[in-house]
Structure 1
């Protein structure tokens, strides 16, 4: 099976294990910083990670890379999903314990209502080539969080992202042009 077929198969049967997602990630080709430039639409790649479902529930739309030093790492849909806005990751409570029913539509309302406070026009991340799991690939480095998002290519318009968080299992997501 090719890496693209493996990706399609695993995505269809998510959640998969973290080990399966890592094996898939390792089988994919690395990406250059130049290949990242542009708007990417995001979706989740569930692995049983505590964050699974959270991005979708909050209205996460994706990421925008204007240059290696000008990155909006968190784009969210507005209330009617007609446009997106950038959020400053420094203002997002990443470790906030949420109740079991937290993966609900009200989370999107919290993000959209919080836009005046959390929204930003400033770039809050950058792209660099880094080595992760023995392979050098484009990596988005958050300015205010100990988080690196490493990207590998599924095909010309699809990437598998692996969020490397300090002291946590990797979190996986998909970006599409």
Structure 2
């Protein structure tokens, strides 16, 4: 998934969470945490892959084992700073990134390409491309198969981004006030 797709999935999930949990749209600081959390895995892994440190662009930052450590640190700092809502936004976004990177073929029973979730315990290439672990129900096969086509999946990312952008507007464009500054250079954001 591309960066805009990860951002879209993360924002949609967190906005729905905030509306369900707090009965209001997301606040500005958590929205910025969603932006950061939705990109963290790629910001770690892609440069290390380009430098030849890792064999793929989905290694350390994409591992659920690494995510556990990140979650512990993020919540520990959040409790000290009284920013638990912001930490939750970050965690939702980071975990959504990992889930969104699971290939659609996994839902059809093919685990190839999911090894990153348990890196370094499970190495890349552990599963063969045609190796199937289970047979999905026919309905799942019918719904998921079109999304195994890269062009269709890319179109889905743009649709999700459009939906997220529309929801962000409906939520009052939270986070934008951190980008805008008043005449004295002070941000107009609120604490969450």
User: TM-score w.r.t. structure 1 length?
Assistant: 0.26
More strand by share: 1
User: TM-score w.r.t. structure 2 length?
Assistant: 0.24
**Relative contact order (alpha carbons < 8 A, sep ≥ 6): 1 or 2 greater?**
2
Q: Which of structures 1 and 2 has the bigger CA Rg?
A: 2
